[in-house]
Amino acid sequence: MPDPAFDPAAARDAILARIAQAAREAGRDPADITLTAVSKQQSRQAVSAILGCGQRVFGENRVQEAIERWGGRRSGLELRLIGPLQTNKVRLAISFFDAIETLDRVRLAEEIAREVQHSGRCPKLLVQVNTGEEPQKSGLAPHEVDVFLARVRGDHGLEIAGLMCLPPVGEPAAPHFALLAKIARRNGLSELSMGMSDDFETAVRLGATHLRIGTALFGPRLTPRQKLSIEGG
């Protein structure tokens, strides 16, 4: 079970201070870096505590879970999809999220373009890059990104805000962040979603604009059974 003494508000203050420090050391303005609180698999109580501190940007990796959690209380929030998107959920995702960080194939771009046209609503779009070229992970291989961007911008008229990556577990993240930043630079993209609980300062140093932080902010993620027991059904 999670540690009952864990205090998300204090954790958030400490993380924001570390982000600001890392930004200053890198000669960056801390205001250019957004903390995305990754609320997937967290209890209602932990999420309420973070909301209570003024946190407004949240990341979820599943469309359905996000809608269940946030469906009735959207006002003033920015909700970002950071997990894989299936084409049959595109309509729902476009109607719900403010940003989709996991555009990773032409078929999905086609579906998104169609739905944007149809609904008139266009979330911010980021392309996911599989910087470690791991077979089990989604995202484009680094060498595919330039052609993909030209295609979705040209053929599908989609505006792309930036890139996202999830470096391989157990490897130094810095080379992956540096690679993502380099691909973004040569494609004129300004948003870089990279850096999580264990490596966000490195990400700040290498140009991250959005940090996706879960466990360092909320404590460990819960199993469905733990979640139910904490929330009281």
Ligand X SMILES: *Cc1c(COP(=O)(O)O)cnc(C)c1O
34 or 197: CB nearest ligand X: 197
Binder among 39, 55, 61, 131 for ligand X (CB under 6 A): 61
In the complex with ligand X, the residue whose CB is nearer, 2 or 113, is 2
Q: How far is the CB of 82 from ligand X (least distance, A)?
A: 4
Q: What is the total residue count of the chain?
A: 233
Residues 156-195 binding ligand X (CB under 6 A) are 166
| 47 touches ligand X (CB under 6 A) | no
User: By C-alpha distance, which of 166, 157, 173, 169 is closest to 125?
Assistant: 157
Neighbours of 75 (CB within 10 A): 5
If one asks whether residue 197 binds ligand X (CB under 6 A), the answer comes out as yes
For residue 197 the two structure tokens come to 């609980």
Phi, psi for residue 191 in degrees, rounded to 5: -95, 130
Q: Please, which of residues 207-226 interact with ligand X by CB under 6 A?
A: 212-216
Closest approach, Cβ 36 to ligand X, in A, equals 8
Smallest separation (angstroms) from ligand X to the CB of 59: 7
Q: Which residue is nearest to ligand X (CB)?
A: 214
Residue 196 binds ligand X (CB under 6 A): yes
Q: Which is nearer to ligand X, 153 or 221 (CB)?
A: 221
Least distance from C-beta 193 to ligand X, angstroms? Answer: 8
The least distance separating ligand X from the CB of residue 80, rounded to whole angstroms, comes to 10
Site string for ligand X, 65-104 (x = CB under 6 A): -----------------xx---------------------
Kindly tell me which of 30 and 83 has the beta carbon lying closer to ligand X: 83
Count, residues near ligand X per rule CB under 6 A: 13
- Give the footprint of ligand X on this chain (CB under 6 A): 38, 40, 61, 82-83, 166, 196-197, 212-216
